[in-house]
Amino acid sequence: MPTFLGLSLDPKELINSLSPYAEVAIWLIIFAETGLLIGFFLPGDSLLFTAGLLAGQGKLDIWLLLPGVFIAAFVGDQVGYTFGEKLGPRLFNKPDSRFFKQEYVTHTRNFFNKHGSKTIIIARFVPIVRTFAPVLAGVGEMDRKTFVIYNVIGAFLWAVGITMLGYILGDVIGESVDQYLLPIIAVIILISLIPPLVEWRRAKKMPPPA
């Protein structure tokens, strides 16, 4: 399992290593993934779901998690939008590096071309795209008022929705959740990879510009 700053990116190991301040740490990770360009690799979906599962077992406080992850997701996208608004295209004219690839921008722009303003909601469920969508929106794809409306909806459906899904399942499964946790997370990751793979295949099939 990959690590970052000495911390495992496995959601359960990450949460356990951050106790007793796990709830606050989860807020910060969700903010970093949505609001900082270098946070695109952080385990957003699986972290929220695992946190919900553990809360369903009573190991985390669900009433700290829910408002915290919602605010973190909302503020993160607002910060990303402001980055795009203030820094403009300079953000996307950078050469490829370890943490930045031009293909990330291309995938995100394809989402905007296909879904319009709804991209801000849909992108929440798509790794990498959810990090770059608010920045691209700030560059000029969407006015701030419209962005805020879609950001509220997307933050609620993604952060609160996935956490609650994990919480309900954790409450139902109880102590036997450990034997199901890894397969569930694997399924979540596979599902989250489907949209970018579809967009990538579609982009490969498109004829080059004249």
pLDDT in tens, 14-65: 787 887 889 999 999 999 888 887 766 777 788 898 899 889 888 899 999 9
More confident residue, 198 or 167: 167
The answer to whether position 126 is within a domain reads yes
Nearest one of 192, 91, 98, 94 to 140, comparing CA atoms: 91
Split at pLDDT 50, 70, 90, the class of 184 is low
User: Residue 134 in contact with residue 34, Cβ under 8 Å?
Assistant: yes
More confident residue, 208 or 101: 101
Number of domains in the chain: 1
The answer to whether position 50 is within a domain reads yes
* Integer Cα distance of 91 and 106 in angstroms: 13
User: Residue 131 in contact with residue 100, Cβ under 8 Å?
Assistant: no
Q: Report which residue type is found at 166.
A: G
The answer to whether position 4 is within a domain reads no
The answer to whether position 106 is within a domain reads yes
Nearest one of 24, 53, 40 to 188, comparing CA atoms: 53
User: Residue 50 in contact with residue 162, Cβ under 8 Å?
Assistant: no
Helix, strand, coil share of the chain (percent; to 5):
80, 0, 20
More confident residue, 8 or 46: 46
The answer to whether position 124 is within a domain reads yes
The answer to whether position 184 is within a domain reads yes
The answer to whether position 149 is within a domain reads yes
Structural domain span for residue 109:
9-205
| Region 66-94 average pLDDT | 87
pTM for the whole structure: 0.79
- How confident is the model at residue 66, as a pLDDT? 96
* Integer Cα distance of 105 and 136 in angstroms: 8
The answer to whether position 1 is within a domain reads no
